[in-house]
Amino acid sequence: MGIAQQGPDGPEIWIRGPVGEAAPPRAEHGQVLAGARRFAWVATHGGAGTSTLATVFGGLDAGRDWPRSEPDAPWSVFLVGRTHAAGLEAVSYTLDIFRRGEAPPGLDLEAIVLVADAPGRLPRPLAQRVKALTSVIDVHQVPWVPAWRIGDLGAVPPRESAALARLTASAKRP
Query: What is the torsional sign of CA 110, 21, 157, 55?
Result: negative
More confident residue, 123 or 25: 123
In a domain, 11, yes or no: no
Q: Are 107 and 66 in contact (CB under 8 A)?
A: yes
Compute the mean pLDDT over every residue in the chain, rounded to the nearest whole number: 80
In a domain, 1, yes or no: no
Q: Is the pLDDT of residue 111 over 50?
A: yes
Q: What is the pLDDT of residues 82-99, one digit of tens each?
A: 999 999 999 999 999 999
Amino acid at 145: V
In a domain, 2, yes or no: no
**Mean local confidence (pLDDT), 161-173:** 82
Structural domains in the chain (count): 1
In a domain, 6, yes or no: no
Amino acid at 3: I
CA separation for the pair 77, 66 (Å, rounded): 9
pTM of the predicted protein model: 0.76
Q: What is the pLDDT of residues 18-31, one digit of tens each?
A: 333 333 333 343 33
In a domain, 125, yes or no: yes
In a domain, 15, yes or no: no
| Structural domain harbouring 43 | 34-169
Q: What is the CATH number of the domain that holds 158?
A: 3.40.50
